[in-house]
C-alpha cells in the first residue's frame, strides 16, 4: 500500500514547497496557481490569492506528496 499525503498550508504553500524541494532534492512536477484555473460559477478567489499554490505534487521514490494552499470557503457554492 502506498500512502499519498495531501498537505494543506494556510498561505505559505510556496514556501513549504521550496523547503521540501531543497530538503528532498526534487522538483515539483507542476505548480498550479489560483490564477491558472478557470473561474468557477459562483466563486471567485479572494483578491491577492492569485499567486497562491492551488495544487502541486512532489514525487519521492515510489510515493507522492501533494500540497496546496488551504482556502477557507466564505460563501456556499450552490
Q: Assign residue 21 a region: left if phi > 0, alpha if psi is -120 to 50, beta otherwise?
A: alpha
Span 5-55, pLDDT tens digits: 999 988 789 999 999 999 999 999 899 998 887 877 777 777 888 888 989
Domain boundaries, the chain: 1-37+49-78
pLDDT band at 72 (very low <50, low <70, confident <90, very high): low
Q: What is the pTM of this model?
A: 0.75
Mean pLDDT of 54-69: 91
Tell me the CATH class for 1-37+49-78: alpha beta
The pLDDT value recorded for residue 45 is: 75
The pLDDT value recorded for residue 78 is: 45
Amino acid at each position: 500500500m502506498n500512502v499519498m499525503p495531501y498537505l494543506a498550508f494556510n498561505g505559505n504553500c510556496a514556501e513549504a514547497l521550496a523547503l521540501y524541494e531543497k530538503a528532498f532534492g526534487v522538483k515539483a512536477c507542476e505548480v498550479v496557481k489560483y490564477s491558472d484555473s478557470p473561474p468557477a460559477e459562483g466563486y471567485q478567489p479572494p483578491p491577492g490569492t492569485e499567486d497562491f499554490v492551488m495544487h502541486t505534487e512532489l514525487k519521492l521514490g515510489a510515493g507522492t506528496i501533494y500540497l496546496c494552499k488551504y482556502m477557507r470557503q466564505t460563501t456556499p457554492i450552490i
